[in-house]
Amino acid sequence: MTDTDLVLVERTGAIATLTINRPTKMNALNAHLVTELARAFEALAAAADGEDAVRAAILTGAGKAFVAGADIGEMSEMTPVAAKRFADAGQRLCHRIEALPFPVIAAVNGFALGGGCELALACDFIYAAEGAKLGLPEVTLGVMPGFGGTQRLLRRVGAARARELVYTGDMVSAEQALVMGLVNAVHPAAELVLKAKETAQKIASRGPLAVAAAKRVMLHGEGVDLASACEHEAQSFAGLFGSEDQREGMKAFLGKTKPSFLGR
């Protein structure tokens, strides 16, 4: 395990686990932590090619929180110009997570509030521990979400539910989040990262070019009309037929053997 102070990164085969490591502050996001997370994800993006590539990642938090929000002490002193700079950095981080060529699973082990909830929403999907709490409470501080939370939340749970959560600033339990579609599954805390790793391992065993293409197509489709999104899907589908992975996958299926995908 390598320690970049605020972010711990562990590689197990094709799976990378990133742990936000500021437990004495409930992993609250300050400018330094946002920068360190961006650096960690950039390093993983650079390791996304070749036979030893990262094919799935897990993001979780040390201690009792995933991320309990932004660092209010730091934010309380911000001018509008500084606040815009902070929001831009947070949005770049979230966009970078979305743009990675492999899926990222948020393993929400405790509080995921404000910027923490926004960070989880930038991941491909969310597993939560029993007892975890999620929400966007920024309006209780006289501000609003700034890392993309208003937009990603409404895309994940629908406009009406998103408006209710943003306007009230209320937290929801992991179980409530499951019902509304904010999280994909709820697991006992002791099993959370293990369950995320099981899913990550399953994803890593699939064709990496196909997974990356599917991720790009689904992200692109959120911002365009259905016909355009489906055309993009058809083009990406066809493009995969020029890959070694496609030939390997179909040959293995017909021969009733396990495919060995190389990402090319």
Active site (catalytic) residues: 118, 138
Q: Cα dist. 173→63, 109, 184 in Å?
A: 18, 12, 13
Q: Which helix (H) or strand (E) holds 171?
A: strand 171-173
DSSP letter (8 states) at residue 137: -
Q: Which helix (H) or strand (E) holds 142?
A: none
Burial (0-12, 13-18, 19+ Cβ within 10 Å), 48: middle
Question: Could you give phi then psi for residue 44, rounded to 5 degrees?
Answer: -70, -40
Q: Which SS3 state, helix, strand or coil, does residue 7 take?
A: strand
On whether the CB atoms of residues 6 and 20 are closer than 8 A, the answer is: yes
